[in-house]
Amino acid sequence: MPDRVKSELSHLYFNPKTHKENIPVRPIENTIRAATTNIPKFLDQMIRPIFDHKCHRTTIIDGAHLIKRMKRYVRTDACKPSTLFCTFDIHNLYTMLPQDESLNVLVEFLHVHGYRKVKGIALDTIRKLALIVIKENVFVYGDKIYQQTTGGAMGSSFTLTLANIFMWKWQKELVRQQDITGELFGRYIDDILMTWNESEQQLRELLLEANQWHPNIKLDYKISQNLPFLDVLLTNNNGILQTSVYHKPTTEPYVLPFTSDHHPYIYANMIQTALARAVRYSSTFEVFNQEKNQIKLMFLYNGYSSIYIDDQFHKHFVGYINEAAFTPVITEMTQFFILYQKILAQPTARQTQVTRSIEAAANTTNESSEDSIAIMPANVTNLQHRFFIHYTHEKRFRPLKRDMHKL
């Protein structure tokens, strides 16, 4: 139950999209203390793992995952000198979701994948809970109270999951056509990437048709052999895939200043994280060196010493290549590709999180019977074979608290 004392109405605020023309704003609702805030959290924790599990083939997790998907595509010999890349984004996906239709698609998604219940909760009950989240969404802006009649709260975790599931249905025809031709289709929330080996005119006609599939779903697209997607720049260089880190034109060279009062590991972690991304995303030794130099200049600009930066570079390299003579500057292409293979093979934190979510969903049995009841075995503890130490009242045990927790 919500806390009557602490609960308050959501309030609306706006974040500018400085990387877009005319700087539009993104409306966000702060729902942290809303009376219904626990319902979307509950629904998201229950349904998102199912989406991650069932839709992993068409979902792009992050830039590193995109590169792995593209490399898999290249290995099929589908990347030709004429291959085009197409990226498009959906206009205001969160706030343009049709509410009733989204709830119907949610139930359809679960039903299609064999669910009649999820963790003992019937689909009709899930729909009613989702209806409360979507339709009873009120917020304060200025001196007035508003109710959202289209879309969901941007700031609610469940809105993201509901939007993903709605797009699962919308994109079906595109996925089907890409599968037939052996082309790649990948989506990251409201951003979509496709490869194409037919004529550009045919692609434009397909996208024009897709723009008419739903009145609330409108897209802007770009077609080229050199396009950014997420933070990766993809280039088709005469049939050879090249990748690099993409920096938005509005990006400023600011990071946490070295003079700020933070733990030393934070400064080191920022440098090593930036360097790991440079290795993952750079398809050539030359591209990596350019990105590495940009990283060093950025940290120098923010007060980091050249000696400190080089030391972090060295620690990062030695962590993957066990050579005592390894210098902060990689001078050989062989060294770079050893790093590249090792780092690209490692999952990112986000990939690990999604993998665990998929495993959790895969281990959950579909409850197809409406009368099914999960009976859990009783957790019987045999106290005769246990011993207890109470270090609160036995002062002589206080220095041993850490060791006793390990028993």
Nearest to 354 by CA among 103, 36, 56: 56
Same domain? For 268 and 241 the reply is no
Length, in residues, of the chain:
407
Nearest to 69 by CA among 248, 276, 229: 229
Same domain? For 134 and 270 the reply is no
Please check whether residue 152 lies inside any domain of the structure: yes
Please check whether residue 281 lies inside any domain of the structure: yes
Same domain? For 164 and 221 the reply is yes
Please check whether residue 371 lies inside any domain of the structure: no
Domain final residue pick, 297, 324, 345: 345
Per-residue pLDDT of the chain (407 residues; tens, 9 = 90+): 667 777 778 888 888 877 777 788 888 888 777 777 889 999 999 999 999 999 999 999 999 999 999 999 999 999 999 999 999 999 989 889 999 999 999 999 999 999 999 999 999 999 999 999 998 888 888 889 988 889 888 778 899 999 999 999 999 999 999 999 999 999 999 999 999 999 999 999 999 999 999 999 999 999 999 999 999 999 999 999 999 999 998 888 999 999 998 898 999 999 999 999 999 999 999 999 999 999 999 999 999 999 999 999 988 888 777 654 445 556 678 888 888 999 999 999 999 999 999 998 887 655 543 433 333 344 444 444 444 444 444 444 444 444 444 34
Domain that holds residue 339: 264-345
Domain final residue pick, 309, 330, 345: 345
Domain of 167: which CATH number? 3.90.1850.10
Please check whether residue 218 lies inside any domain of the structure: yes
C-alpha 285/C-alpha 304 separation (Å) is: 25
Please check whether residue 251 lies inside any domain of the structure: no
> What torsion do the CA atoms of 343, 347, 348, 349 make, to the nearest 10 degrees?
-140
Number of domains present in the structure of the chain: 2
